Amino acid sequence: MSEPDRHLPFFRVLDAARLPGCLLCRLVRTDTRRYIESVLYESVNDVGFRARWRASRGFCHRHAWILAEFQDALGTAILYEDLIRHYGDKLLTANAGTQCPLCHAERVNLQDRLAVLEQSWDDQELRAAVEAGDGLCGPHLRALLRQTRRRELRTTFRRVSAQRLTELAERLRQQIQSFDYRHAGGGDARARDAWQRAIERVVGMRDVPEPH
């Protein structure tokens, strides 16, 4: 079978597979922040975006606070001044508007990333990166098992994710033992942050929504 075509989305998936943690969480977080950067630097005064922004009454709670992390006072002020002038006090009392545009973009992006994995699964470099990587968090593994058709893809991610979970349990045991005065030393670095990785493994990275 010939090697699949390589393109920018493929290389983004490959790069994420080589980094620690759930590769789909990492891609969603990166895409979300790129979307907000694009809004702040290119779309604040765009007529089409402003229409969607008003219809949704801004971003949802989660995305509004991610927007705040950028500390772009001017861009954020322009966006929210637009909402307040358009709706007045109805912004506080009326029901929610249409779907948050960034929530919609996240769902589309996740489907795109799953499609890249499925279409590119014959690429040996990608498969090697997945085998050596951390697998997926629980929510994204379940999404992949539901939504992809290639049996080998599903089997590999399930096996790798389960192996890493077993390894994590041992790191957690090491971390627990490190608090016992009878065990000298604090353990290695991977054991010291195991509690954080356990949360990510079960529910996904912070600020990443559970896929539906």
The angle formed by the CA atoms of residues 135, 141 and 145, to the nearest 5 degrees, is: 125
CA distances for 187 relative to 90, 149, 159, 179, 203, angstroms = 55, 41, 27, 10, 25
pLDDT averages per 10-residue partition of the chain, 212 residues: 70 94 94 94 89 91 93 94 92 82 91 95 96 94 95 97 93 82 59 79 82 76
Q: Alpha helices of 133-206 — where are they, by DSSP H?
A: 138-147, 151-178, 189-192, 194-203
pTM (2 d.p.): 0.84
In angstroms, how far is CA 47 from the centroid of its own chain?
A: 28
Say if CB 178 and CB 187 are below 8 A apart: yes
Please write the tens of the pLDDT for every residue from 66-84: 999 999 999 999 999 999 9
Q: Are 13 and 130 in contact (CB under 8 A)?
A: no
Radius of gyration of the chain measured on its C-alpha atoms: 21
Residues 56/130, Cβ–Cβ less than 8 Å: no
Spatial distance between the Cα atoms of 148 and 137, rounded to a whole number of angstroms:
16
- Summarised one tens digit per residue, pLDDT across range 91-123 is 888 877 778 989 999 999 999 999 999 999 999
The residue to which tokens 């002038």 are assigned: 85
